[in-house]
Structure 1
């Protein structure tokens, strides 16, 4: 049976069962990649598990990353071989067995700008990177580096600017649709028995007579109703909200986190002639030019952020910075007119001063997990690539001495859609023929759903009209919108634009050409009346307008203020209903 995340029709029953049912072994607070990984790790060990997220799944940092699964070349410069090797092992697991439908190899060019000393220096570093990736790997999923002169560079990236480099080293890393990975982790956990509820916020952490956290009070943000959920252990994975979450428990100490903003711009694929990506060093960050099927993703920045955490935006200064640095190597300079979309996200940066004894704290260069209070574990830091290791560390700490009897099995647990994916890619033409889909359309869906594409075909078998592409966004089928509502827990129109599809940034004008059509499909699937449907459309249009207004402002506080004027969709819909 296909795992279906709670929808508007059964949320109350699911939350009532959580509150009235047996005590959980683990309650996870936070539905980004780390929290989703923790839920999967816990439930796959046989633990009674639930996960709640205050926004939509991947609603914070996890949907706004550079969408890379990589080891981190910069850590080699810091001689942190162990950290790089760990990340590369995780990359290989995802590519080879855990999520081959979601994680794909992508080539990059590392520019060489000096003829003599630089090539052997860079080659040694990338060579070590390749070696660490292949040591102990069952299958070598990535090719090893190649040295390119300018002729080879021009073949791989015809639009490179003359004089910007004297050659390059071509190497491979991985790319992933980050939001799709989070959704798949949550649904895989649900398939194994975990309960997963989005737009449900932990508002307090009750304690028993001994001072141990005994669960959480969960507020359903859709209705405002509170429920108390009992749990032997609560694990929080709330990223840049870590300190706010710890404050709810009255903890004296815990993890200290600062937010750093990174933005990306989206450019149509035909605007830049190239097959490989680029990795560029800037004075503030690493800039990636990443090829996707229909567009290029270019970013990122790395700047301190002190505004509203839930609504970061790309400012005019941010966008100009990325364009300026990309143009250093592009023969046909980009302009603002070439940018069809932008997105901004916040990375949680761990700070010194974490409190906790050595027995209840595990710290690595990238992430830290600690017991903030008895029964309350917090984890922060890290990166998407190592989510599985972070999850294992968090559950191990929550279990204490029991961990050795219930070891993690996620290294051998393929995600939903992985099983059977490769054979289906050989059958893409015949699979799509009954529905009038091209082989390219089927491959695109296989790379989103894997073998769970059967859920799409089942919908179309029941309603053949859903086989058609969206008129305003033909990269997606009408069935995919319905599937986002029926199987993937979308509750609002923006959930469909942000996470179930990526139309909010990968299509011009935030995908608004398709907004009415998508709203009609969502209204039918979720039981909205005309007033609710119109309120959802108005809320999404208002948000898009605010983001565009912010993108025309250079000053960060001013841009953030413009964006924050638009209420959250839950609030907007509630206001419209009054």
Structure 2
């Protein structure tokens, strides 16, 4: 049985979407292809509205591919008395685990090491009890208290003097870029015109009202006007720039906070659980990630290039210093496989410390015909999206149906659990090891048939990618044919996570991947060479920036690398 090739973001669909943008009148145009924008497009489409989503770069190209990759309730927000945010986040986490995206979102355990005798265990237990009661222990186990020896059995890599006991609790994790992609593809399945490499360069007006946007295809340079009843600005850290372009007076300011993560091999830390550590500013996570650990994050203001935040040597040293304080065998720079930096779009508040700024979101009518949403956290994207479309109702013709996305599974969710029970049969049918089938199911869910069907005519697509054996060649072809990848960077950084999971950061497989992509997209030798060159420049610039002492020096190095989409305009200042 096949998934039916639904919600495709194919090259052919890309052309159809361009025609739709110029010919149709939309109820809603969403700007921004991060998780909030994709969620808003899905929310609007499933309410029966005609919706277009435009993104200047790639889906999840910004913050939504550079998070800690957790769906979590935000345990530390209890200390800040943000009880509503925690309760809301736990409800969303539960929906993802059980109904909306069980193929993408998985439980993950964390050890909280106790370092103070007498008072810390009851204090932390009380917080975790509240966490569990609010919904933290519905489909995952509740807190479990451990002695020091019990905690060390769970996490043998810890120094014996780094804790006096521990508490284990559960949260959830997901590949953020893939999850955002599936939200966007589900929106496309319900009728949304979803188009990447499509930059908003101006706004259409009648009198004082915004009536649409002017967009540029940054692959070809073509431009056209898109008419609509309301524009929803979901551009995250670019919110202020987009409001200035619209000539709208912002109701809130967005502040960019840089979060850096490092990736190290799984065998460098002996443990059967993740780890959460208190720091002087916030918390530090050690997160299991397939055959790796993700360790982060930092939390500092960023005032430079919003498209390419750069990690510095100071950022990396900060992470290493804090995790090494508790590890029996310290990590070194040589252990690092990958580094990535992302920007949180925080609502600017009274506190000067970004770690204390609210993770709540805000929605506002910034002009007649335009709504903006900012702030929030990845876990609550669905609530943010619903709030944005609710706010847009006053600009729409007639009443709209209430949000139903809490009952709309993402593509790939239906049938996933049954397929998990059929892994051995699928492995035998396609000549794959069962662990390969599990890998594919956890990345594509029940859409795995669409992917595997591509191998009928080309069995060699079941071979691993040279230099990146965790992934199969067919995933590259599928990433172009069904998932909208247009550039080598899209494939190595977001459709797969090769750029952070291998020490070569994708360079050793760039030629092979470009060749596979080129067969679908019709690239000649010169175009393939160009894609490899641009990607190599990016990796080189990132590596060099990670040796610099401060943000300014790192930004100068990183921003000098060529853009995969060179026709993108500079932001409005």
Q: Is the shorter-chain TM-score for this pair beyond 0.5, marking a shared fold? A: yes
Instruction: Specify whether residues 404 and 106 from structure 1 end up closer, same or farther in structure 2 by C-alpha distance, changes over 3 A only.
Output: farther
Q: Distance in 2 between matches of 1:233 and 1:90?
A: 27
The DSSP-based 3-state class of the residue aligned with 1:232 is strand
Q: Does 1:38 align with 2:35?
A: no
Q: 1:404 to 1:145 in 2, by over 3 A?
A: farther
Aligned to 1:151: 149
Q: Which runs of 5+ in 1 are unaligned?
A: 354-363, 574-578
**Does the 8 A contact of 2:34 with 2:63 survive in 1?**
yes
Alignment partner of 2:374 out of 373, 380, 400: 380
After superposing the two structures, state which structure 1 stretch, 1-10 or 372-381, moved more: 1-10
**Is structure 2 residue 411 aligned with structure 1 residue 408?**
no
1:15 aligns with 2:15: no
2:514 match: secondary structure: helix
Q: Of 256, 259, 271, which residue of structure 2 is paired with 1:259?
A: 256
**Partners of 1:96 and 1:7 in 2: how far apart?**
29
- Scaled by the length of structure 1, the TM-score of the pair is 0.94
Deviation at 1:7, TM superposition (A): 4.6
- Equivalent residues of 1:6, 1:14 under 8 A apart: no
Offset at residue 223 of structure 1 (A): 1.1
Q: What do residues 461-480 of structure 1 show as CA deviations (whole Å, max 9, x unaligned)?
A: 23211111112111111100
Residues 230 and 392 in structure 2, CA contact (< 8 A), matched pair in contact too: yes
Secondary structure class of the residue paired with 1:213: strand
Instruction: Give the drift of 1:405.
Output: 4.7
- Cα deviations across residues 14-57 of structure 1 (Å, max 9, x unaligned)? 21221112x10111000000000000000000000110101110
1:255 and 1:378 in contact (8 A); partners too: no
**Residue 25 of structure 1: which of 24, 27, 41 is its match?**
27
- The answer (yes or no) to whether the contact 1:539–1:572 under 8 Å persists in 2 is no
Residues 125-151 of structure 1, C-alpha deviation per residue, up to 9 Å, x if partnerless? Answer: 01110110169xxxx211010000111
Q: Which whole-Å CA distance do the structure 2 matches of 1:152 and 1:285 have between them?
A: 26
Whether the aligned pair in 1 keeps the contact of 2:146 and 2:167 (CA below 8 Å) is yes
Q: How does 1:111-260 map to 2 (within 5 A)?
A: 111-133=113-135, 140-209=138-207, 211-260=208-257
| The one of 63, 66, 69 aligned to 1:67 | 69
Taking the aligned partners of 2:441 and 2:531, their CA distance within structure 1 comes to 30
Q: Quote the offset at 1:5 in angstroms.
A: 4.6
Deviation at 1:188, TM superposition (A): 0.4
What SS does the aligned partner of 2:506 have?
A: helix
Aligned residue for 1:281?
278
**Match 2:55 to one of 43, 53, 56:** 53
Q: Secondary structure at the match of 2:256?
A: strand
Partner residue of 2:320 out of 314, 319, 323? 323
The alpha carbon displacement at 1:212 in A equals: 1.4
- 8 A contact 1:260–1:303 mirrored in 2: yes
TM-score by length of 2: 0.95
* Residue 334 (structure 1) aligns with: 331
Question: 1:576 corresponds to which residue?
Answer: none
Contact 1:110 1:279 in 2 (8 A): yes
The counterpart of 2:564, out of the listed 553, 569, 573, is 569
1:159–1:273 Cα contact (<8 Å) kept: yes
CA contact (8 A) 2:359 2:377 kept: no
**Aligned Cα root-mean-square deviation (Å):** 1.7
Q: Aligned equivalents of 1:171 and 1:13: distance in 2? A: 47
- CA distance in 2 between counterparts of 1:198 and 1:572 reads 13
Matching of residues 385-464 of structure 1 within 5 Å: 385-400=379-394, 405-464=400-459
2:22 & 2:85 partners in 1: Cα distance?
40
Cα distance, 1:456 vs structure 2: 1.1
Partner Cα distance (1:310, 1:228) in 2? 25
The Cα shift of 1:328 comes to 1.3
- 2:263–2:294 Cα contact (<8 Å) kept: yes
Superposed displacement of residue 3, structure 1: 3.3
Which deviates more, 2-11 or 324-333?
2-11
**Partner secondary structure for residue 442 of structure 1:** helix
Deviation, 1:285, is 2.5
Q: Give the count of matched residue pairs.
A: 558
- The equivalent residue for 2:501 is 506
CA distance in 1, matches of 2:185, 2:418: 22
Distance 1:308 1:106 in 2: 33
Query: 2:571 matched to which residue of 1?
Result: none
Secondary structure of the structure 1 residue equivalent to 2:294: strand
Counterpart of 2:267 (choices 262, 265, 270) is: 270
Q: Deviations over 1:400-441 (max 9, x none)?
A: 397975000100000000000001001111102122211111
Distance, in Å, in 2 between the alignment partners of 1:400 and 1:120 is: 49
Q: Where does the alignment leave 5 or more consecutive residues of structure 2 unmatched?
A: 351-357, 569-573
- Equivalents in 2 of 1:165, 1:336: separation in Å? 25
* Secondary structure, aligned partner of 1:95: helix
Higher mean C-alpha displacement, 456-465 vs 408-417: 456-465
What does the per-residue CA deviation read over 1:530-572, in whole Å, with 9 as the maximum and x for residues that have no partner?
A: 0000000011011101111111111210111011111211229
Provide closer, same or farther for how the CA distance between residues 307 and 181 of structure 1 changes in structure 2, counting only shifts above 3 A. Answer: same
Say whether the 8 Å CA contact 2:74–2:86 is kept in structure 1.
yes
Matched-pair contact (CA < 8 Å) for 1:188–1:416 = yes
**Which of the numbers 271, 287, 307 marks the counterpart of 1:310?**
307
Q: How is 1:454-533 mapped onto 2 (pairs within 5 angstroms)?
A: 454-533=449-528
Contact 1:242 1:255 in 2 (8 A): no
* Alpha-carbon distance in structure 2 between the residues aligned to 1:572 and 1:442: 39
Who is 2:354 aligned against? none
3-state SS of 1:193 partner = coil
Distance in 1 of aligned mates of 2:280 and 2:508: 38
- Cα distance in 2 for partners of 1:244, 1:501 equals 30
The answer to whether the Cα contact below 8 Å between 1:535 and 1:572 also exists between their aligned partners in 2 is: no
Are the counterparts in 1 of residues 393 and 400 from structure 2 also a CA contact under 8 Å?
A: no
Write the distance in 2 (CA, Å) between the matches of 1:526 and 1:432: 30
Distance in 1 between residues matched to 2:545 and 2:136, nearest whole Å: 45
Higher alpha-carbon deviation: 73-82 or 444-453: 73-82
Q: In structure 2, what is the Cα distance between the partners aligned to 1:198 and 1:159?
A: 43
Tell me, in whole angstroms, the C-alpha distance in 2 between the residues paired with 1:2 and 1:82. Answer: 39
Q: Compared with structure 1, are the counterparts of its residues 405 and 247 closer, same or farther at alpha carbon in structure 2 (3 Å cutoff)? A: closer
